[in-house]
Amino acid sequence: MPAITVSSILELPRVPAPGLDQLPRPVRSVTTAPSGFEGEGFPVRRAFAGVDQRDLDPFIHMDQMGEVEYAPGEPKGTPWHPHRGFETVTYIIDGTFVHQDSNGGGGVITDGDTQWMTAGSGLLHIEAPPEELVVSGGLFHGVQLWVNLPAALKMTAPRYQDIRGGEVGLLASHDGGALIRVIAGEVAGHAGPGITHTPIALAHATIAPGARMALPWQKGFNALVYVLSGSGFVGAERRPIRMGQLAVLGAGDLIEVAAADQQESRSPSLEVMVLGGQPIREPIAAYGPFVMNTRAELVQAFEDFQAGRLGVIPTTKRELPTDNQPGHQVL
């Protein structure tokens, strides 16, 4: 589990110990992510499946990619595909992904890096392992999150943020047992590097066996906890939660997550993504790689894509496959 780690967590700034007047948020639901395949066939868990969109707002979709140990020749990516109306945030914990988009954005992200791509008015996108990794195989693990854009920003110009792992905000829990990496927004007054269009916070935490994390959380934000690996407890009622499960929390001051005393040897700590934001509260018309407000806007997006108005594929060996149909879920 490379992501970003530190030699001494105790030297990091600490999240303040929770006050007696601060209420931990209760658990509203715990759901288990179904497994599926993405793009050219890499394994994913659909973290938000079965959860009401209103509870996820301002987020749309999240995939845990892997964790998978590829054999030589096996690593897979996606074909070229379009996006419009939202942002894709790709956080790589282990392994390497190469991104490219028709707007000139792109780069290599590895071990703790994040690519924050605002599709806005639209672009074409490809995500794939580098050729040397296809040859060698190896460990691959990451997350892709879709962040919605409000109507006023759906047609904003595309933007690309390349966030290196070393730039994330690092914090320790009050008990010193959890490492918190703030990727975007602010946690306990410590900001992450990601620039967001609407107020959100996104963090990855590693919680040692028996440790407890209590994060102060904006009152107006929703609060989601997704377990990448390990097992523990979440919310005011210490509800059990394990790998591949998502907790939706209700109102309160703190997000509480604790790691079970015993963890499996393959994942010695509890690994969670913690995220929330100011709900946008607008109608959503989403289909495949487009997230708009109305059905007419979706039809327009398909027409623009088919007319080449979302961009053209830069000079490349790869071809747009004929099976890239609307409705096929592509990252």
126 or 224, CB closer to Mn ion? 126
Burial class (CB in 10 A: 0-12, 13-18, 19+), 219: exposed
Encoding tokens for residue 268? 């010695």
60 or 170, CB closer to Mn ion? 60
Encoding tokens for residue 86? 């939202």
Nearest to 172 by CA among 186, 160, 164, 182: 182
Q: Give residues 109-128 in contact with Mn ion (rule: CB under 5 A).
A: 125
For residue 270, state whether it binds Mn ion (rule: CB under 5 A): no
Q: Give residues 272-331 in contact with Mn ion (rule: CB under 5 A).
A: 331
145 or 331, CB closer to Mn ion? 331
Count of residues interacting with Mn ion (CB under 5 A) = 2
77 or 169, CB closer to Mn ion? 77
Q: What are phi and psi of 117, to 5 degrees?
A: -110, 115
125 or 204, CB closer to Mn ion? 125
For residue 45, state whether it binds Mn ion (rule: CB under 5 A): no
Closest CB 192 distance from Mn ion, rounded Å: 22
For residue 154, state whether it binds Mn ion (rule: CB under 5 A): no
The H or E element containing residue 94 is: strand 86-94
Closest CB 86 distance from Mn ion, rounded Å: 10
For residue 61, state whether it binds Mn ion (rule: CB under 5 A): no
What character string, x for contact with Mn ion (CB under 5 A) and - otherwise, covers 76-115?
A: ----------------------------------------
Beta bridge partners of 24: 254
Nearest to 96 by CA among 113, 81, 71: 113
Contact 163, 112 (CB under 8 A): no
Contact 236, 203 (CB under 8 A): no
Q: Which residues bind Mn ion (CB under 5 A)?
A: 125, 331
